[in-house]
Each structure stands twice: as C-alpha cells, then as structure tokens.
Amino acid sequence: MFSQLLILWLLGPVAAAPPIRSARTRSTQAARSGPAAQRTKPPSGLKLKPLLHRAPPAERKQRYRILGQLANPDSQLRADAAWQAGRLRIMAAYKRLRKLLRDRDPLVRRNAAYALGMLGNKEAAIALVDRVPRERVPNVLVQLAIALGRLKHKPTRSFLVGLIYRRDPALRAAGITALGYLGEPVDVYTIGRFLRSKDAGERLNATTALGHLGSRLAIGPLRRLLTDPSAAVQRAAVESLTKLRAHKAIPDLLKLLPKAQPSVALALVRGLAHLDSLAGMPPLLQLLARTTDARLAAEAAQAIGHLGGRLPVKRLLELLASASNDVRIPAARAVGLAGMREAIPQLALLLAHPHPSLRLACARALGRLAAHQAVGVLLARLRTEHGRVRAAYVRALGRIRAITALPVVSRLLRSTDPRVVAAAAEAVGEISLLDRRPVKPLAKQLALLMTVRRSAQVAQEGALAFARLRPRGQRKGFSRMLRLTLHRDPQVRLRAVQSLGLYRDRLATPSILRMLGDDHLAVYSYAALAAGRLRLLSNYGTLQTLLTQTSKVAHPVAHARILLAIAMIDPSRRREATRQITKVLEHGPNTSAKGDLVSSIASTRGRWVIPILQQARRSPCYLVRAEALRALSIWPPAVVKTVIKAAPSSKGKPRKPSKKQVASMKRGESLAGPFPAPKGRNKGCNCSADVTSGSGALPTGLVMVLALFLLFLRLKLWLLGRENRECRENTP
C-alpha cells in the first residue's frame, strides 16, 4: 500500500515535466484556486448567498410598473398596486408597503396589510403590531389580524383570541381565520366552539380554520361536520380532512359520495385521490359510469388514474372531446396517468388550443406517454410559447428523450426565463440517459447553472443533469453540488444529494454523511441511497437505524429507497429488498415518486435489480410500468434473459445455467450491462479513483522497482534544477 501511494505521489511532478519555474507557478495557481479535490468537505463557516430569481422580461416590466404605482398620488392606483404586490409576492415592495400602513386612505392601508401578510416577511409583524392599537376602521383591522396570523406571530395570540368575542361578525371571522393560520394546537378547542354556531358562515370559517391549523385533534370535530345541512360547510370539511391526511375519515367520505351534491362530490373525489385511498376505486368507477356531470366524470377519471385503475377508453375520449375546458384539462391529465396511447392524436391537436392550462396538461400527458409522433408538433409550437407552457413543452421533449430536439433544448439553456432553463436542464439529463455522447459538450454550461445567481429550481435541475453526464475534470461543477447541500430549501438539498450519489465521487462522503442527519424524510432517504452507491460500509449501522425509523406503511417509497441502499452494501439483504420493493411497486397509488424509485433502481449498476424491473413491468400503475420499460430498454436483451433464467427458484436454490448460457459466458457475451461496474473502488470523475486496485494491479516487486526508479528520476530532476539556478546566479 505504501509503495502504491509512493507511486501516486511521484507521478504528479514527473508527468508534468515542465521547467521548475512554470511548475512552481502552476502549483501556486492551484493553491489559490482551491479546487474541491484538495478538501474533503466544505468549510464549516460557509454561508450561501440567496439564490436570485431572474424573472422573464415581461414579468420584470410588470413588477417595475407595480413598484412605481405604489408611490402614485392616486389612492386607487396605490391600493391596486399594493394588492398586486401581495398577490405576486414582490419582495422588493416590502419597504414601500410598510409606509403605506400609515396612508390616509383606509383601502390603501387594508391592501398594504394584506400584501405584507402574503409576503411572509417576519419583520413585517412589528409594523403590523404597531398599527393595531391606532386603527379604527374595522375592514383594515380585519386584514391586520389575518396578516399577523399568516406571519405566525405568537405574541399576538391574546389579541386574536379577543377578536372572536367581538360583536362585529367580520372581526369574529377574522379572529377565527387568524388563529387557524397561527397554528397553535390549543386553539382547536377555541375554534371548535363555533362549529356548533347557528350561523352557517361562522361554521364555514371555523371549518376552514381547523384545516389551516394542521392539528390532528381537529379530525373528530371535522368528521361530524360531514353531515352538516350546509353544502358549503360539508365541502370545507372534506377539504380540511384532506389537508390533515385523515385516513380514518375515508369510510365517512365513501359513505357521503353517492348522495353528495356536485360541489361536495368534486371535493370528495379530489380528497380520495389525495389520500391515496384504494378503497375508493369501486365507488369512483361507478361514479364515472353513471354520472351525467361531465366535470365530475373527468375529475373521477383523474382520481382513478392517480390510484392506478383502468379507465374506459371510449368514455375518456368523449370527455377529451368536450367543449368545456374544465372537463378537458382533468381528462388530459387522466390520459397521461392511465397511459392511454389512443388519445395521442387528439392531445397533439389540442396543443393549438388558446387556453394555456389545457396546452400545459396536454404537453405533460404527451411526455408521460412518450409520444414520439408528437415531437414535430411540440417543436413547431415551442417557438410561439412562453412561460410555464413553454417549460412544459421542453419537459415533454425530455421525457420522450427526443435526441433530434437536442439543438433546440441546448439553446434554451441560455433563456432568460428560469422555468424554461430548469426544464431544458431536466430534458438534457433525460436525453443523456439514452446517449451521453451528443450531450457531453454541454457539461460546462450545466455547471454554470449551479451558481448562486440562478434560481433554486435551475440550480437543482442543473445539478441532476450534470451528475447524469458525469464529465471528467469538471471540478467546479462538483464543488457547486457540494455547496447546494447547504441550501435551506429541502428540495434543493434533495436534488443535491441525489446528484452526488449519481456522480459517485468519494470526496462527497462528508456531505452525504451530514445529509443522513437531515430533518426531512425524502432528503435523508436519498442520502442513504447515495451512501449505498458509494458502498460506505462504515455507515451500515446508520442505514439500519434509518430503516427502523421509517414507517413501512406511512412512507413505503422512502422505506424501499433505504432498503435498496442497504442491499447495495450487503448482498445478503438483496433477496429481502427484492421482495419488499416489488410489493411497494405493485400496490399503492400511481405516483411520480414510484417512478423515481424505479429510475433509482435502474441506476444501481447491478444485474440483481433486473428481476425487480421485470416485476415492475406488470405493475397496475402506468408510471411504474413506463419507467421500468425505459430502464430495461437500455440493457442488452441477452443480459436480461440470462438474469431472468438464472433467477433463484421458489425453493431458494439457484438454478443451473443452461448450455447456451455457459457457452455465451465463455465467449464473453452478456457479462457487462449498460452500467458496467468500475474496476476501482470509485471511478467518479477519474480524480479520486484507487487506480491500483482491481484485477489489474501490479506485482509487489515490480511496484517497488518502479517506485525506486521514479525516486531516482525525481532526484535527478531536482539536481538539474539546482545546477540551473546556480548557473543563473553566477552568470553576470
């Protein structure tokens, strides 16, 4: 081992072979630049700058106009600008909105209080509290109370409780709503008093406030409100139970569905889909077949597609051909969730519809269906789109993995709209899974997307696409991925640790170990998967602890992800992992999280996961089947057949390979998959690999001879350099 390290140390200066002065200059520059390869973890005192959001030109122009109107002499324009600043959450308007709290016009003060509550800046609570004792207009006081509740300013709880005892019904409603936003579990009983009120408006406000409160103590009172005589209260109760993830209330929701009014039935259908209730599949199918309300039928079809049920093709095509956009939008989503390829021509025609939400839903459905015949239509319509619809078109091209669209997608990486840039980076990463060669020149451009001057969405998608490319020598991109693990947004940290796992560089070990202690379930489950990819044997006990902490019932996908990481490290657990992961993929709702799990399984580089992918092909969930088919299409067919035939039998004894399999293995066929394991411990970006490990290691005697020769050569070069310096000093 010492001789191997000696060779690595000696090869550095000898391989460069420059004059002494230029070598010193190069080493000085390397020390100044401080590459990520020279440190194992980011500095402990590192503070990230907030990622700036650069809006599109039209949106920036609108924001500048609103900021200018906040100082307009016309009070009506000031009031409208304050309302728009809160609705669009323009953080640059914070100081001007604070000044508008002292405006003479009550409407301006009311809208300024609303805007400060919507901005979510905690410092605004001081200005709002100072204004409360001076305010005499009830409408303004209502917005001040709601804004304090939105900001979760705990010291004002006594003031908010006092409002619910006022005679003015508007102030009582404001106090109830503000206590709901405040989020104190004790207020369940304070708000619960109004659930028995004779006024339907007070019951409605109390029901909505209990949903915002977020305490599971409110589930019992809300279940009793499902039989309220007011349809608005019933709908609010269903929505609040859905927010609280009240699985205990599913039987009550199913009992209410057949006799509910249309507005309540819409909330029930959405709630059953959000709660992932497989017990609601038969009632939803009956509702889809019997109802005459097209909108309710379309929502039921979307819920059935989310739960993984089969949809009638004829009925869904009729809904997609409806004249109402409220029907066609959920129908298009249902087509994408159910994998109904018969609707591809109709979806391609709807891309020319003037309604943007319908075009967005159709583009997402075409991407999920992998509609290669719609690539030309998407590229033609891409030139006339902008904003989130254009981003949806680019994501659809990435999901289809259309290599012909790569020139257009690469140009969109320089767009001024961050949503389009993030979608283009995601599309580049998806196309690289099919073929990396045409995408490799974009590695430097993807590394630039992870700078602090980009939005969080752009940075996380750029990191994932960069990690999928795994370019060699791009150390700046790797160091930027390490910085993203310190971000305060959990979604950014999730993508960062997922990217580090795909990058497979052991220099990321300290960051991955730090992510194992994250508070968010998805973040530490992806950190466990990254630890499994790097084969971190010293943290096997930590992974076992995380596995016991993660509930198999409440969080099955995260539990399966951690079990997959353990199986990567410990081969003896692979049989158990195969059984449990297959069970997760076969049962449960049709969600994109399961599709991500399948893609994580496919990127493990192990042939032992092919039986899991084969079982995933038979899953009732279309998103799982689609990801499994994409993963298996990359592997050579001979590898898949060999693994399936040599799979262990039901008795647990491995089957002997046939004569054809033995002959093909002797010829060297089917011995390596599309993700061949590196010869060293970690190939990474070829900068931290153990180059002397593996089957190609040199004999010990030859290593010692080579080390002595390199040591002699280094000494000779040092003596020559010393003679050159002495000659220069003695030369007049």
Measured in whole angstroms, the distance separating CA 288 from the mean position of its chain's CA atoms is 32
Q: Which two tokens stand for residue 165?
A: 């005892």
Residues contacting residue 508 through CB under 8 Å, at least 6 positions apart = 478, 481, 482, 500, 530, 534
- Quote the pLDDT of residue 650: 39
- Listed residue (147, 61, 153, 137) closest to 112, CA to CA: 147
Asked whether the predicted pLDDT for residue 480 surpasses 60, the reply is yes
Hey, CA dihedral for 39, 41, 47, 51, is it positive or negative? positive
Asked whether the predicted pLDDT for residue 93 surpasses 50, the reply is yes
Asked whether the predicted pLDDT for residue 130 surpasses 50, the reply is yes
Please tell me the pTM assigned to this model: 0.73
Asked whether the predicted pLDDT for residue 683 surpasses 80, the reply is no
Please, what is the average pLDDT of the chain?
78
536 falls within a domain: yes
Tally of CB atoms within 10 A around 514: 15
For range 309-328, the mean pLDDT = 88
348, 371 Cβ separation under 8 angstroms: yes
Give the phi and the psi of residue 550 in degrees, each rounded to 5.
-85, 125
Query: pLDDT, tens digit, for every residue of 623-635?
Result: 888 888 888 776 5
What distance in Å separates the CA atoms of residue 573 and residue 62, rounded to the nearest whole number? 57
Report which residue type is found at 231. A
- Quote the pLDDT of residue 689: 34
**Which CATH number characterizes residue 497's domain?**
1.25.10
What distance in Å separates the CA atoms of residue 728 and residue 732, rounded to the nearest whole number? 8
What distance in Å separates the CA atoms of residue 31 and residue 15, rounded to the nearest whole number? 19
User: Which H or E element spans position 357?
Assistant: helix 356-369
Asked whether the predicted pLDDT for residue 411 surpasses 50, the reply is yes
493 falls within a domain: yes
Query: pLDDT, tens digit, for every residue of 350-404?
Result: 998 998 899 999 999 999 988 888 888 888 888 888 888 999 999 999 988 888 8
- Listed residue (542, 541, 549) closest to 515, CA to CA: 542
Percent of the chain with pLDDT over 70: 81
Confidence of residue 699 (pLDDT cuts 50, 70, 90): low
Q: Which of 15-19, 475-479, 559-563 has the highest mean pLDDT?
A: 559-563
Give the phi and the psi of residue 209 in degrees, each rounded to 5.
-65, -35
- Quote the pLDDT of residue 636: 56
Asked whether the predicted pLDDT for residue 34 surpasses 50, the reply is no
Asked whether the predicted pLDDT for residue 330 surpasses 80, the reply is yes
512, 501 Cβ separation under 8 angstroms: yes
- Quote the pLDDT of residue 329: 92
203, 225 Cβ separation under 8 angstroms: yes
Q: Report angle CA 182, 185, 186 to the nearest 5 degrees.
A: 100
Residues contacting residue 29 through CB under 8 Å, at least 6 positions apart = none
Query: Cα–Cα distances in Å, from 165 out to 105, 110, 173, 206, 237?
Result: 28, 22, 10, 14, 24
- Quote the pLDDT of residue 333: 92
What distance in Å separates the CA atoms of residue 100 and residue 82, rounded to the nearest whole number? 9
- Listed residue (480, 473, 507) closest to 496, CA to CA: 480
The C-alpha torsion from 530 through 533 and 534 to 537, rounded to 10°, is: 100
- Quote the pLDDT of residue 7: 45
24, 718 Cβ separation under 8 angstroms: no
Q: Report angle CA 363, 365, 369 to the nearest 5 degrees.
A: 115
489 falls within a domain: yes
**Sole residue written with tokens 């689609």:** 626
What distance in Å separates the CA atoms of residue 510 and residue 514, rounded to the nearest whole number? 6
Measured in whole angstroms, the distance separating CA 525 from the mean position of its chain's CA atoms is 13
Asked whether the predicted pLDDT for residue 31 surpasses 60, the reply is no
Hey, CA dihedral for 124, 125, 130, 132, is it positive or negative? positive
**251-259 — which CB contacts under 8 Å span 24+ positions?**
252/223, 252/226, 253/226, 253/277, 253/280, 254/279, 254/280, 254/283, 256/226, 257/283, 257/287, 258/283
287 falls within a domain: no
Give the phi and the psi of residue 519 in degrees, each rounded to 5.
-80, -25
Give the phi and the psi of residue 704 in degrees, each rounded to 5.
-65, -40
**Sole residue written with tokens 């007049």:** 732
689 falls within a domain: no
For the stretch 409-420, what's the b/e string if a residue is b when 16 or more beta carbons lie within 10 angstroms of its beta carbon? bbebbebebbbb
For the stretch 322-341, what's the b/e string if a residue is b when 16 or more beta carbons lie within 10 angstroms of its beta carbon? eeeeebbbbbbbbbbbbbbe
User: Which H or E element spans position 525?
Assistant: helix 521-533
For the chain, the farthest-separated pair of C-alpha atoms sits apart, in whole angstroms, at: 108
Q: What is the three-class DSSP state of 699?
A: coil
Report which residue type is found at 74. D
Listed range (244-258, 285-299, 690-704) with the worst mean pLDDT: 690-704
18 falls within a domain: no
What distance in Å separates the CA atoms of residue 589 and residue 137, rounded to the nearest whole number? 50
Asked whether the predicted pLDDT for residue 597 surpasses 60, the reply is yes
Listed range (15-29, 58-72, 377-391, 454-468) with the worst mean pLDDT: 15-29
Domain count, the chain: 1
501, 478 Cβ separation under 8 angstroms: no
Measured in whole angstroms, the distance separating CA 344 from the mean position of its chain's CA atoms is 27
152 falls within a domain: no
What distance in Å separates the CA atoms of residue 530 and residue 543, rounded to the nearest whole number? 11
Q: Which two tokens stand for residue 180?
A: 């709901």
How many alpha carbons lie under 13 Å from residue 12 in its C-beta half-sphere? 9
Kindly state the DSSP code that residue 676 receives in the 8-state scheme: P
For range 513-532, the mean pLDDT = 87
80 falls within a domain: no
* 20-33 vs 700-730: helix crossing angle, rounded to 10: 110
**Sole residue written with tokens 């010492």:** 2
Report which residue type is found at 657. P
Asked whether the predicted pLDDT for residue 335 surpasses 70, the reply is yes
Q: Which two tokens stand for residue 176?
A: 């109830």
Question: In angstroms, what is the C-alpha Rg of the chain?
Answer: 31
Hey, CA dihedral for 135, 140, 144, 145, is it positive or negative? positive
More reliable by pLDDT, 128 or 637? 128
Confidence of residue 26 (pLDDT cuts 50, 70, 90): very low
- Quote the pLDDT of residue 680: 37
Confidence of residue 20 (pLDDT cuts 50, 70, 90): very low
Asked whether the predicted pLDDT for residue 462 surpasses 80, the reply is yes
Residues comprising the chain, all counted = 732
How many alpha carbons lie under 13 Å from residue 290 in its C-beta half-sphere? 8
Residue 533: give the domain boundaries: 474-648
Kindly state the DSSP code that residue 19 receives in the 8-state scheme: -
What distance in Å separates the CA atoms of residue 256 and residue 231, rounded to the nearest whole number? 12
What distance in Å separates the CA atoms of residue 248 and residue 267, rounded to the nearest whole number? 17
- Listed residue (428, 495, 499, 412) closest to 457, CA to CA: 495
567, 573 Cβ separation under 8 angstroms: yes
Percent of the chain with pLDDT over 90: 8
